[in-house]
Structure 1
Amino acid sequence: MANLALTYLELGNLGEAEKLQKKVLLLRKQVIEEHHPDILTSMAYLALTYVYVGKLKEAEQLQQEVLFLRRKVIGTEHPDTLVSMSNLALTYRQLGKLWEAEKLQKEVLLLQKVRIGEEHPHTLISMVNLALTYMQFGKLLEAEQLQETVLMLQKKVIGKQHPYTLNSMFNLASTYMQLGKLQEAEKLQEEGIFLQKEVIGEQHPQTLDSMGRLAVIYQVGGKSKGAEKLQKEVLLLQKKVIGDEHPATLTSMTNLTSIFLLLGKLQEAEKLHKEVFLLQKKVNREQHFNPLNSVNRLALTYQVCGKMEEAEKLQKGVLLLSKKVNGEEHPATLVSMNSLAKTYQVSGKLEEAEKLQKDVFLLSRRVFGEQHPATLTSMRSLAETYQASGKPEEAEKLQKEGISLSKRAMGEKHPTTLALQSNLVETYQISGRLEKAENLQEQLLLLCKEVHGEYHVNTLTAMQNLAETYRNLKKLDEAEKLQKELLLLHQEMNGNYHPDTLHCMGNLASTYIQLEKLNEAESLQEVLLFLCKEVYGERHADTLATINNLAKTYRRLGKLDTAKEMENESSQ
């Protein structure tokens, strides 16, 4: 029965697999003792089935139980226990519990390095998984460093043509692109494709997918003509090999649409957009599919890479096309308007941003109603532009209205409500009303801890902002207490060498100085200087600033010779 359940699982017959695995587990519990390895194996397979059918909460609960029992029965370093840890970490990641996933994956990786070595295939897989968690967490520098290590080891251990090695090359190329390292991304993607063609052939769907990703890198790197040529080649082959209704083919058509828009080929873009839309409607994979949303996402990539003119040009083309194809009040058109307005805002074109965001807000309210999430998002965006334009009164009025509507529609603990409150805090701070900011921040921090947990980025940001408000209000004891708590959390999450941890140390040291706790400031600044040199190097701006701050502390402590040495070091 157990083998049949696994066969069902491999064949994708998940309903039968789940049903049979539950039966096997029940029978085994009746026959053998509760902690027997066979029972734990049945529980583990049932949890895996839960993951496949999307029952992530049930999977998490069962995997936690399996891990607890395996630690107890066979020990933490047993291979089966390490597998359980890895599986639970992947479930955490799917549930968005990224800190828990990262913590568990780091533990697995450390144990595997000690037990089976850094070059063992299982260790390499764990490194890949941890890098992907870093990516999802937005920790791109950590992801890059780990992916470079993995790729080097995989080339050595399993060879550069192994599928795992090729995947690592493409993952690292993606990280490079997100970091704006376009030359490195292009070079690595081209190398991977060359190897892929040798191994599985030019017309293999995976090769075509890799070529499509290279076309995107070309496009973001300003090589629009090269991107157009390659994307057309990919699309032609995909239509031949996998058909024009395949999701990968539709993605390529959407990417080619964005290239046409950038090149000013509006007629070709419109024609292709309509073709994609009709094909998607025909296969009925997604009722509300809109190809232009993918183009808008590509524009965000341009923003990340600092290519604001290209982002603006692409979004203007999208908006023009959406108005023509869908109409001005269509949700897709409103999304395109909002995206373009955001680009205006980031580029400092605040008048253009404000004008467009007012249009979005009025249209959203008419089309969706005032309590719809899209309307609330447009209110938030417009208020941010008011804020940036030096119009705090208009920003405050709109933010308060948004908070009231959001509480009524979604409740006070909804992320949208919390985000609107966070924006109102900024407005209070800009206009110098620190007491109002303090009161709202204290409420917001409690809600963030309750909703997100204390390790979530929103909670940490709320703590940091409140501590800064305390400092500005000269409530230095409260600031110190909160900054210490924040530093401990960052040290637990990221370790001492992470930039966020170093930033927290610097803030706490400044508060110590304001409190005249010069010995504590000195000790912390000395640690901070050592870490800055390790992380950033001797001549980095943050390292030099830390040297100067420490020199000032030495002077206030009367350690004039040491202060002079520090000052000489910073001036060299």
Structure 2
Amino acid sequence: MSVLHRLADTSRVRLGQALGVLTSYSMITLSKAQDAVSVHRLVQAVTLADLPDDQYQAVRAKAVDLLSASLPDDPETIDSWATYQQLLAHARAALPPHSPAMGKMIEYLHASGDYTTAAALQHNRHQALLHSQGPEHPDTLVALAGFAYYTGMAGDAVTARDHFTALLPLFKRVFGDEHPRTLEVWGELGAWTGFAGDEAKALNLFIALLPVRERVLGAEHPDTLNDRSNIARLTGELGDEASARDQFVALLLIRERVRGAEHPSTLIDRDNLAFCTGAAGDAAGARDQYTALLPIRERVSGPEHPETLTTRHNLAYWLGETGDAARARDQYIALLPISERVSGPEHADTLAVRFNLARWSGEAGDAAGARDQLAALLPISERVSGPEHPDTLTTRHELTYWTDRCRKTDAEGPAL
């Protein structure tokens, strides 16, 4: 209804009278709160079909103007998300794919964690620019890079990596070797190379990128800090958890000063610092850091944002590592259906929840349950991530472990 209030030369009284007449003839339906109007598809089709082309285009242009004016200015702020969600279906129906307003809608989807819808709209954006501008126009390339990013965020790290592999030489040729856009693609290639399973190659990409980014953008530019964050994270994943922890301790001080204590990038660094703290030997410290971080995540991004779910996941993990296997298992049981609904049943985050649910089920005393859950998970991991991906190898190893535990238990017989 707030969109209609923006109609020029129309008072709220006249608008209310018009809506009342339309409602009396069952042409529209008003919501109980009187804040939304729905029009049956048949009524929409008949109304639009009778309009001459010039009037149809004028109506569509007016709808675009009204929607564009109704979108809040900051799509990354949680306070604006309810309005964006309310207008999403209308935006998909009316906004041109390459319009600034559609760009804001995609930013909202990114900020709120709906990466699948963001990927779909970004694909439409790229196709529209491809048709109007050509394959190597800067806007077309930037749109394709955005689509590659959202493809990865929606769960397909391998395809994202392959897109960025193909894009990097194009960006170098069109923008220049050290243009900020080119450096962004270089950084995304590093990130998705790591998420696709090759952490060592990813680390080398970021080590090569960091001095270029520092020289071009400055040592405290957010993108430069992202490179440092990725280097620290990958250092930990490759086995040097103490170095990773120390890097995050130093980085977090800068990130808080540059971006603010509750910026999403700062919270990601806090999450990674907590994990590296635990991996370096302080499981209780990791648990306590995640316990403090979770309510901030919930307030800043919402309780079901993917990043909030990651923090819940990691809190459960370190609860288990501090000796409370049953509580860890129960938290994963509660988390799994949410992760399946938010990210999808075969997203890497969901598969990680399933893996840890199996593991902590075993640690809590159900070795057979752990074995059976891992046996069901392994073929999915092989298909989704590949047979040699580190996550698949870990699942295979854990399945062997719990299978052996079950055999030993069976051989020993019931306790007397």
Give the TM-score taking structure 2 as reference length.
0.54
Return the letter of the residue paired with 1:8: L
1:119 aligns with 2:178: yes
Q: Distance in 1 between matches of 2:87 and 2:299?
A: 32
- 1:231 alignment counterpart: 287
Aligned to 2:98, what secondary structure does the other structure show?
helix
Return the letter of the residue paired with 2:148: A
Aligned to 2:239, what secondary structure does the other structure show?
coil
1:62 aligns with 2:136: no
Cα offsets for 1:158-194 (capped at 9, x unmatched)? 3333332222222222222333343443333222123
Cα offsets for 1:101-126 (capped at 9, x unmatched)? 44543443223323433332222222
Q: Distance in 2 between matches of 1:236 and 1:168?
A: 26
- 1:382 alignment counterpart: none
Work out whether residues 228 and 256 of structure 1, in 8 Å CA contact, stay in contact via their aligned partners in 2. no
Return the letter of the residue paired with 2:90: K
Matches within 5 A, 1:66-81: 66-70=128-132, 74-81=133-140
Work out whether residues 205 and 242 of structure 1, in 8 Å CA contact, stay in contact via their aligned partners in 2. no
Q: Distance in 1 between matches of 2:298 and 2:101?
A: 36
Q: Which protein is bigger by CA-based radius of gyration?
A: 1
Work out whether residues 44 and 66 of structure 1, in 8 Å CA contact, stay in contact via their aligned partners in 2. no
Work out whether residues 22 and 46 of structure 1, in 8 Å CA contact, stay in contact via their aligned partners in 2. no
Cα shift at 1:143: 1.9
- 1:8 alignment counterpart: 71
Q: 1:319 to 1:243 in 2, by over 3 A?
A: farther
Return the letter of the residue paired with 1:69: H
Return the letter of the residue paired with 2:269: S
- 1:321 alignment counterpart: 364
Return the letter of the residue paired with 2:373: V
**Structure 1 alignment gaps of length 5 or more:** 26-39, 301-314, 359-572
Cα offsets for 1:395-423 (capped at 9, x unmatched)? xxxxxxxxxxxxxxxxxxxxxxxxxxxxx
**Structure 2 alignment gaps of length 5 or more:** 1-61, 343-349, 378-393, 412-416
1:335 aligns with 2:335: no
Aligned to 2:204, what secondary structure does the other structure show?
helix
Q: 1:164 to 1:285 in 2, by over 3 A?
A: same
Q: 1:230 to 1:160 in 2, by over 3 A?
A: farther
Aligned residues: 310
Give the TM-score taking structure 1 as reference length.
0.42
- 2:276 alignment counterpart: 217
Return the letter of the residue paired with 1:190: V
Cα shift at 1:127: 1.6
Cα shift at 1:357: 11
Higher relative contact order (Cα pairs below 8 Å, separated by 6+ residues): 2
Matches within 5 A, 1:271-310: 297=355
Q: Distance in 2 between matches of 1:350 and 1:48?
A: 48
- 1:84 alignment counterpart: 143
| Alignment equivalent of 1:139, drawn from 194, 198, 201 | 198
1 or 2, which has the higher helix percentage?
1
Cα shift at 1:43: 11
Cα shift at 1:134: 1.6
CA RMSD of aligned residues (A): 5.2
Identity across matched positions, percent: 19
Matches within 5 A, 1:24-173: 25=96, 41-42=98-99, 45=102, 52=109, 54-55=116-117, 59=121, 62-63=124-125, 65-70=127-132, 74-90=133-149, 92-93=151-152, 101-173=160-232
Work out whether residues 93 and 133 of structure 1, in 8 Å CA contact, stay in contact via their aligned partners in 2. yes
Cα offsets for 1:436-484 (capped at 9, x unmatched)? xxxxxxxxxxxxxxxxxxxxxxxxxxxxxxxxxxxxxxxxxxxxxxxxx
Cα offsets for 1:327-362 (capped at 9, x unmatched)? x89x77953798999546667x9754656799xxxx
Cα shift at 1:83: 1.9
Return the letter of the residue paired with 1:41: H
